[in-house]
Structures are given as structure tokens and as C-alpha cells.
Amino acid sequence: MTEDDLRETLEIEGTTIYSPWSRDMFLREIERQNPGLIVFRVENRLIGYFCFWKVMDEAHLMNVSLHSDFRGKGLGRFLMNYLGDTCEQMGISRILLEVAETNHVAIKLYKKCGFVKVGIRKRFYEQTGDDAILMEKLIQAHSVP
Ligand SMILES: CC(C)(COP(=O)(O)OP(=O)(O)OC[C@H]1O[C@@H](n2cnc3c(N)ncnc32)[C@H](O)[C@@H]1OP(=O)(O)O)[C@@H](O)C(=O)NCCC(=O)NCCS
């Protein structure tokens, strides 16, 4: 993601009810050149993005979203696979994320992509008062034959 992506990113981010990020939050990640801040474009249209923070050998997925025109078409799985590959290449062994207990589409997606529930964070989302489910996925490094 670069500053040129911000307008389209914020349009998508504005549609989420779960702790939407501000322009400054994205800008901070761009300025510190976070390699975990990735956008996806189809024919030059920004259709989605994710952001993770690398902490030692762990990745914390902080944000992931698709444009509403592109949801429910299996693209979430593509984004999550890309996330897994990127983390593996960076030597990350564990991905962690929080998801609202009411976000059934996201929970279903994460389970399909190999994430398992490891805890609950009570009233994690200030706006809605929802609890968050803490999920993790362990990444197996490819063994050298
Ligand atoms: C969460 C998100 C990235 C998922 O991506 P997606 O491309 O829409 O998800 P998929 O199409 O891969 O669908 C995932 C599963 O949910 C199901 N699903 C999709 N839309 C659904 C809906 N409206 N109602 C019920 N189930 C639905 C799909 O059928 C699929 O299950 P299946 O593989 O058994 O068929 C996307 O919906 C999104 O951007 N949501 C808004 C932001 C958000 O909530 N981010 C997550 C924060 S933790």
C-alpha cells in the first residue's frame, strides 16, 4: 500500500462496523514501510487489502477487508492464502487474529483456512460491545528433503 491507495482503501474501510481504521492509522503503516501492508488490485481497481504486524516469529493480522462488490466470491480465501505464503516466506511460524463473535462469514473463512480458536477477548470491540474470538494458525516450514 502507498499513499496513492488511501482513497480507495478508506472507501472500503468505511463499510466495516468492527473498529474501522482511520486515515492516520493506514498512513502510519505506510510511513514505517510495514511489509505486511498489502493491497490487491484487479484491472487497476483496489478490491481489498490486509495488514499484519510481525512480532518476532509471529504475525498479528490487524486488518483484512474486501470491497463489498467482491465479497462472497471466494476471494477471501485467496487473500488468506496469500497471507500464509507471505508469512512463511518471512519465517513466521504463527499467525494470530481477533474476529468479532458475530462476524460469521469471517469466522467461517478463517476456519476453512486452518485457523483454530484459542481464546476470547471480552468486549473487544468498543463500538458494538462484541467479544472477540482469538484464533491462531501454525505455519509449518517446508522441510528440506
Ligand atoms: C471477511 C471477508 C474478508 C471474507 O471474504 P469473502 O471473500 O467475502 O469470503 P468467502 O467468499 O471466501 O466466504 C467465506 C465463507 O463464508 C460464506 N459466506 C460468504 N458470504 C456469506 C453471507 N453473506 N452469508 C453467509 N455466508 C456467507 C461463504 O459461502 C464461505 O463459506 P463456504 O466456503 O463454506 O462457501 C469479507 O467478507 C470482508 O471483507 N468482510 C468485511 C470486513 C471484515 O469483516 N473483515 C474481517 C475482520 S476480522
What was the pLDDT predicted at 26?
A: 98
**Which residue is catalytic, options 18, 49, 110, 125?**
110
Q: Supply the pLDDT for residue 24.
A: 98
DSSP 130: -
Mean pLDDT of 21-44: 97
- Split at pLDDT 50, 70, 90, the class of 54 is very high
Contact 137, 116 (CB under 8 A): yes
Residue 141 pLDDT > 90, yes or no?
no
Atom of ligand 1 nearest to the CA of 106: 1
pLDDT of residue 144: 52
How far apart are the C-alpha atoms of 87 and 142, rounded to whole Å? 13
Residue 63 CB less than 6 A away from ligand 1: no
- What is the per-residue pLDDT across 11-20, written as a single tens digit (0 to 9) for each? 999 998 888 9
Mean pLDDT of all residues in 27-54: 97
Taking all residues of the chain, what is their mean pLDDT, rounded to a whole number? Answer: 95
Any ligand 1 atom below 6 A from CB of 105: yes
- Kindly name the residue from 13, 49, 98, 125 that is annotated as catalytic: 98
pTM, whole model, 2 decimals?
Answer: 0.94
Alpha helices in the chain (DSSP H): 6-13, 23-31, 75-89, 104-112
The structural domains of the chain, with segments of one domain joined by +, span: 3-138
The CATH homologous superfamily to which domain 3-138 belongs is Gcn5-related N-acetyltransferase (GNAT) (3.40.630.30)
Residue with cell 465479497: 71
Q: How many angstroms separate the CA atoms of 60 and 118, rounded?
A: 14
Phi-psi region of 56 (alpha: psi -120 to 50; beta: other; left: phi over 0): left
Q: Is the CB of 102 under 6 A from ligand 1?
A: no
